[in-house]
């Protein structure tokens, strides 16, 4: 008889939360119980799971009693407020927020890249940022063959990165513009429909936004490559779901594009999408709802002898968030790393 | 009494053609006559100019008789078919197509960058590609102070780059998607509304599309910098009008971002748009209908000691096409370079 687990989803009503519920079902995660937690505001709502309606409970210390695993996706402040309490109650927390990602005692894990890092958890494992995960899945297989020295990234990020409300806002804006009306913006600082703008997260003193620095710092941590040089420009575009990225990679020696293609064609989590005759490459439309990161348009960089250009699209909510978290949970189960670690965390 | 000129617009009914008509009026170009030319299919249509309705004529050799200046914007094959005939009839042709841009006997001109090149025309002057013009206006002032060695560009190109029909198609696709229907695509190979894809122009053997190679080759020609290293990834995004570009520039020495900012703030054709407190930078929504290229978010490249990152948005139809052509025409008038050059061309 295989073991099963009592799982709680914190932030169950959000875009990532609902995806987590669907993935636990679809991937047959060994559940003994599924508890849906959210802010008191959402308590009492019901969400479908395996043909039943599960009621959402308000998060509380009491709610974590007996829970083995918490999948948290309710934002940084909620994670900061509740993660230690969940761990104290005996659970392991896989946290989708940025709260603990750069904490040196917290593993930051992309299962295709650094699964072993998860073994060292002290109760909390962090799920990286969406743009970082998508880039990491595509770049890691090449980095294994020949170290990447430098990445210049430009992103094309969908509204889903700002949640379900932002996706609805973009649709409402598009309707207004098509009707000749002036669109309004609340989830975003400016209208996004038929427009785009650099990512609106907080800027540091050098002019880089948080989203960009996540790509820099998280990638270095996941790859255990503190010396890797990364510069990113993150841009929100009027796509509903799935992010795209243009990546310029620099190696220490020339990297043959065909070799890169061969490697990526058999890399986990990657789907090579390239039809040069049809000018057909990864698109958010086709990445939406898929598990894999679509990678293609692999070309020799015209401007540097050791450069490679590639293009990717990946579902930001799926592999960029919920799927990666569920894959970490599956890894913990498989490796028997799901034991509580209260003592270590409380020290 | 100042001189005035007989001008013909070839391709008058297109997106750039109608913008040309508007700009000639708004900028008070010294017109003795304005003739609107198009394919026989569009002959007989009327377009407004200075309160009158001008009738569109089918293009013919006869139509160029007595014309001093042709502004051609009807695609490469039309320009190839008619430019030499217009020149033979005594006109100077400013051609917006790609037909003659890389011809070593044809000047390729951005008036803010290389106005003097226009003096050497032999009847035809080429207007660069939109993405090239926008990049050239922003990069040239920096390149003058310290040569740019390398550019890695990622573009965010609006539907207007494929003409008025493409803009309508994106709107129709958005309407369909919002109504829960499946969008259709004709002007583009894939639906663009709420989606994006790498630029669909023809790919070369290295995997670069024509649009990308225009950024490489035209920039080198305009800057007279054949050694400049450029790699570009061009992407179509669901914006109606105005392109954006993320540019990573590498110099031979570090370039202070504040110095770059000061230079760009007083550069012709550039409008510096940066409010770091408000996270407010160039957006296509605000570049639309403006003459200037909006440039901002100037930052030190985190991945290279001599790198600079910048971001721009510019109206693809305005400065990216029609305005640049009209500025060339104004330059020819001002410098008295509008003399026909039949002999030289026919040699």
* pLDDT over threshold 60, residue B340: no
DSSP secondary structure, A156-190, as one string: EB-GGGG-HHHHHHHHHHHHHHHTTPPP--SSSSS
Domain A5-99+322-346 -> CATH class: alpha beta
Percent of chain A with pLDDT over 70: 97
Two tokens, residue B147: 């040569």
Q: Does A307 touch chain B (CB under 8 A)?
A: yes
Percent of chain B with pLDDT over 90: 96
Q: What is the pLDDT of residue B347?
A: 36
| d(CA B164, nearest CA chain A) in Å | 15
CATH fold of the domain at A131-316: Dihydrodipicolinate Reductase; domain 2 (3.30.360)
Annotation-wise, does B15 bind a ligand?
A: yes
Give, to the nearest 10 degrees, the angle between helix B210-223 and helix B130-145. Answer: 40
CA distance A96 to A317: 11
Question: Per residue in A296-320, pLDDT tens?
Answer: 999 999 999 999 999 999 999 999 9
| d(CA A94, nearest CA chain B) in Å | 30
Q: Looking at this predicted complex, what is its ipTM? A: 0.95
Same CATH fold, A131-316 and A5-99+322-346? no
CA distance A237 to A188: 12
Question: Per residue in A31-45, pLDDT tens?
Answer: 999 999 999 999 999
* pLDDT over threshold 90, residue A77: yes
B104-108, B159-163, B283-287: least confident range? B159-163
CA distance B169 to B173: 6
Two tokens, residue A218: 């998280």
Stretch B86-92: mean pLDDT: 97
Q: What is the pLDDT of residue A2?
A: 75
Domain extents in chain B: 5-99+322-346, 131-316
Stretch A145-150: mean pLDDT: 98
Whether the CA torsion A11, A14, A16, A20 is positive or negative: it is positive
Give, to the nearest 10 degrees, the angle between helix B323-334 and helix B15-26. Answer: 40
Whether the CA torsion A58, A64, A67, A72 is positive or negative: it is positive
A74-78, A247-251, A255-259: least confident range? A74-78
Catalytic residue, candidates B121, B130, B143, B234: B130
Annotation-wise, does B210 bind a ligand?
A: yes
| d(CA B154, nearest CA chain A) in Å | 7
Q: Is A204 in a helix, a strand, or coil? A: coil
Percent of chain A with pLDDT over 90: 96
CB proximity under 8 Å: A 153-212 to B:
154, 156, 171, 174-175, 178, 189-191, 194-198, 200, 202-203, 206-209
Q: Does A244 touch chain B (CB under 8 A)?
A: yes
* pLDDT over threshold 90, residue A342: no
Stretch B269-291: mean pLDDT: 97
Annotation-wise, does A314 bind a ligand?
A: no
């Amino acid at each position: 008889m295989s073991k099963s687990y009592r799982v709680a989803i914190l932030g169950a009503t959000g875009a990532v939360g609902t995806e987590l519920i669907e993935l636990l079902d679809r991937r047959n995660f060994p559940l003994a119980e599924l508890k849906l937690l959210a802010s008191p505001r959402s308590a009492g709502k019901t969400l479908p799971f395996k043909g039943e309606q599960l009621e959402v409970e308000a998060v509380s210390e009491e709610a974590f009693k007996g829970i083995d695993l918490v999948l948290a996706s309710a934002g940084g402040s909620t994670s900061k407020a509740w993660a230690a309490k969940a761990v104290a109650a005996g659970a392991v927390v896989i946290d989708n927020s940025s709260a603990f990602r750069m904490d040196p005692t917290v593993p930051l894990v992309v299962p295709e890249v650094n699964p072993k890092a998860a073994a060292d958890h002290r109760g909390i494992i962090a799920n990286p940022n969406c743009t970082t995960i998508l880039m990491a899945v595509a770049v890691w297989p090449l980095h294994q063959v020949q170290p990447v020295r430098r990445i210049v990234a430009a992103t094309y990020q969908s509204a889903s990165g700002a949640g379900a409300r932002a996706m609805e806002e973009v649709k409402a804006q598009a309707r207004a513009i098509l009707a000749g009306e002036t669109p309004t913006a609340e989830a975003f600082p400016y209208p996004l429909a038929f427009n785009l703008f650099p990512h609106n997260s907080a800027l540091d003193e050098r002019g880089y936004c948080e989203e960009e620095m996540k790509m820099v710092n998280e990638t270095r941590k996941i790859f255990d490559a503190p010396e890797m040089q990364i510069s990113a420009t993150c841009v929100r575009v009027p796509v509903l779901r799935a992010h795209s990225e243009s990546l310029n990679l620099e190696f220490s020696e020339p990297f043959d594009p065909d070799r890169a293609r061969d490697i990526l064609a058999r890399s986990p989590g990657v789907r090579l999408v390239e039809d040069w005759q049809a000018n057909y490459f990864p698109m958010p439309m086709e990445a939406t709802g898929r598990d894999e990161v679509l990678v293609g348009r692999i070309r020799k960089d015209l401007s540097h002898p050791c450069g490679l250009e590639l293009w990717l699209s990946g579902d930001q909510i799926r592999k960029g968030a919920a799927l990666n978290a569920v894959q970490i949970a599956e890894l913990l189960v498989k490796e028997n790393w799901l034991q509580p670690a209260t003592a270590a965390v409380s020290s």
